[in-house]
Amino acid sequence: MFGLSELAVILIVVIAVLAAKRLPDLVRSAGKSARILKAEARAMKEQEDKAPQAPAAPRIIQGETLRPSATGSERTGHTGDTPPEGRPGH
């Protein structure tokens, strides 16, 4: 009988014959879609290249409360009047 590849070729020929009137429109539509997709991908890449890299947004873990991060003297406990413990003076 027929193998899988022969059946596939016959199926493609039957579809082409039955859909001959609509086939050019389908191919044209597929070409337009491909061009639009390419243009959008190119625009997104250009936009990404032009935009400055924004810092990553902080992750919020469920159950945690937001509080400001400690910086400078808050982190070390140093107010500037006296040297912090364990460190020699200025």
Residue 83 reports pLDDT greater than 70? no
- Taking CA atoms, 7 is separated from 4, 15, 20, 45, in Å, by 5, 12, 19, 43
Where would I find the beta strands (DSSP E) of 1-90? none
Domains of the chain, residue spans: 23-51
84 vs 73, more confident: 84
Average pLDDT over residues 10-35: 88
Q: In this predicted structure, what is the pLDDT of residue 54? A: 59
Burial letters 24-62, b for 16+ CB under 10 A, else e:
eeeeeeeeeeeeeeeeeeeeeeeeeeeeeeeeeeeeeee
**pLDDT at residue 21 in the model:** 80
Band of pLDDT at residue 28, cut at 50, 70 and 90: very high
